[in-house]
């Protein structure tokens, strides 16, 4: 009986953990629907690479930085500049609560990312994108994805 209970508990934990992940092709569809393909000159592959290197496609990822700020969501948007987490000083340029950036609809984080990319630096604002995605062939990120 104890083993059955343990198996049920582990199954629930695995389900909860996976609930925050989005499939690469499902993310591509959402990004396409929100007009990110070609936005400010960046392809869907650029956005998919960014989401992977920043969060491993984890919609609800939150990371604390050494300066006391936090990074939120699939694109790891920083609370010091872009959103209000009510924990640290913020400029809140996106005019959004950081918790909204963790929504499974992805609309808040996409809108904030568009604002970031529209400014100086584009996707270069993300260090991990510069290190792992910029200037590399990225078309494989769309392999097997059908947008229609």
Order of all β-strands in the sheet with 62-64:
62-64, 70-72, 77-78
Three-class DSSP category at 67 = coil
Three-class DSSP category at 82 = coil
Question: To 10 degrees, what angle do helices 24-33 and 44-55 make?
Answer: 130
Which are the catalytic amino acids?
54, 71
Angle (CA) 112-59-99 rounded to 5° is 60
């Amino acid at each position: 009986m104890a083993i059955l209970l343990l198996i049920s508990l582990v199954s629930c934990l695995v389900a909860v953990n996976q609930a925050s992940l989005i499939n690469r092709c499902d993310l591509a569809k959402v990004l396409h629907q929100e007009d990110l393909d070609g936005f400010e000159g960046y392809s869907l592959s650029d956005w998919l690479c960014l989401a992977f290197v920043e969060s491993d496609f984890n919609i609800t990822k939150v990371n604390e930085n050494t300066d006391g700020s936090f990074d939120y969501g699939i694109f790891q948007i920083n609370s010091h500049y872009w959103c209000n987490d009510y924990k640290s000083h913020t400029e809140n340029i996106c005019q959004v609560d950081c918790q909204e950036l963790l929504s499974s609809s992805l609309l808040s984080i996409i809108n904030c990312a568009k604002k970031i990319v529209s400014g100086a630096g584009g996707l270069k604002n993300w260090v991990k994108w510069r290190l792992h995605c910029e200037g590399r062939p990225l078309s494989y990120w769309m392999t097997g994805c059908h947008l229609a």
